[in-house]
């Protein structure tokens, strides 16, 4: 029997969007939640919301572009609560631009954040997860499977996340630690409003089809459930599953559908 009140979950990218929604969902289930992101003031608001309902939350600012910051965050959690049972590598962002136009710096920033930062999050959490038959959650995207005009760098980074998940599932055999790679379709987020330098532009329109976008609380529930069930790969939303299936069996149709869809400025 798991005593959830003693279990600790660490979530990166917890200041908004899916990360925030997952933090609240885990707290409702009785888990202690360590909240990480760059924006400390937003993490404090999430922590206050969790504590107002009787939950426990610890604010641990982290920059996934900085290995020392990640290592220090893990140590702060251990110093405070003595354990980590679940680590969800959720922090990430999207660099926008056609392959023809993206610079080396833009590629490096995309891969450093979404791939290296995610891998190092797992690296520093793993010694503690192994003590408790822990769980890892990697947040990918259906973009790992699909052509992504103007989001080629993002899709490549999420394909790498998928590969990291597959590798971890082999490397961790017999350790008691499971790895769940989560590939969401369209979910409410700020990703299309952040430019290639990381600046937020609230006035930017979201080019994604509004009717297909899931609310973050709905996404968080299915993601939490997938991690608890130790699923290896979990693809959602419904449209995400359909598109991935079509890409596997009818790639020409997918190319035609996506080529006619809305695109952000490249």
- CA 109 to CA 111: how far, in whole Å? 6
pLDDT given for residue 172 in this prediction: 98
pLDDT given for residue 4 in this prediction: 62
Here the tokens at position 69 are: 């910051």
- CA 227 to CA 137: how far, in whole Å? 6
DSSP 219-246: HHHHHHHHHHTT-SEEE-SHHHHHHHHH
Options 31, 124, 145, 154, the catalytic residue: 154
All domains in the chain, ordered by first residue: 4-259 (3.40.50.720)
pLDDT given for residue 260 in this prediction: 83
Here the tokens at position 148 are: 């992504």
Give the CB-side neighbour count of residue 10, counting CA atoms within 13 A. 32
234 flagged as catalytic: no
pLDDT given for residue 212 in this prediction: 79
Q: What are phi and psi of 237, to 5 degrees?
A: -75, -170
Here the tokens at position 212 are: 């297909």
Nearest C-alpha neighbor of 234 from the set 224, 247, 243? 224
pLDDT given for residue 37 in this prediction: 98
Residue ranges of the alpha helices (H) in 103-203? 104-111, 117-129, 152-171
What does R_g of the chain's alpha carbons equal in angstroms? 18
Angle formed at CA 223 by CA 149 and CA 129, multiple of 5 degrees: 110
Nearest C-alpha neighbor of 76 from the set 55, 62, 87? 62
Walking along the chain (266 residues) 10 residues at a time, the average pLDDT comes out as 74 96 98 97 98 98 98 98 98 95 97 98 98 97 95 97 98 98 89 62 63 92 98 96 97 93 60
Q: Where are the beta strands (DSSP E) in the chain?
A: 8-12, 32-36, 57-59, 86-89, 135-139, 178-183, 233-235
- CA 17 to CA 189: how far, in whole Å? 5
């Amino acid at each position: 029997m798991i005593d959830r009140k003693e279990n600790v979950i660490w979530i990166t990218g917890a200041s908004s969007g899916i990360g925030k929604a997952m933090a609240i969902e885990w707290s409702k289930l009785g888990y202690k939640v360590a909240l990480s992101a760059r924006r400390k003031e937003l993490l404090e608001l999430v922590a206050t919301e969790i504590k107002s309902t009787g939950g426990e939350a610890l604010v641990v600012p982290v920059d996934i572009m900085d290995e020392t910051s990640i290592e220090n965050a893990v140590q702060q959690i251990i110093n405070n609560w003595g354990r980590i049972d679940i680590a969800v590598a959720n922090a990430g962002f999207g660099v926008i631009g056609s392959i023809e136009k993206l610079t080396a710096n833009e590629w490096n920033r995309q891969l450093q954040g979404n791939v290296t930062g995610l891998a190092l999050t797992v690296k520093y959490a793993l010694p503690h997860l192994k003590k408790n038959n822990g769980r890892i959650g990697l947040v990918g995207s259906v973009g790992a499977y699909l052509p992504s005009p103007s989001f080629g760098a993002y899709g490549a980074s999420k394909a790498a996340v998928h590969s990291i998940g597959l590798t971890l599932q082999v490397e961790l055999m017999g350790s008691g630690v499971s790895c769940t790679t989560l590939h969401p379709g369209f979910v409410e987020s700020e990703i299309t409003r952040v430019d290639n330098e990381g600046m937020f532009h609230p006035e930017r329109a979201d080019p994604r089809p509004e009717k297909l976008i899931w609310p973050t609380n709905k996404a968080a529930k299915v993601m939490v459930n997938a991690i608890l069930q130790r699923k290896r790969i979990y693809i959602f939303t419904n449209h995400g599953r359909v598109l991935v299936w079509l890409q596997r069996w009818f790639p020409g149709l997918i190319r035609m559908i996506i080529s006619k869809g809305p695109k952000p400025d490249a």
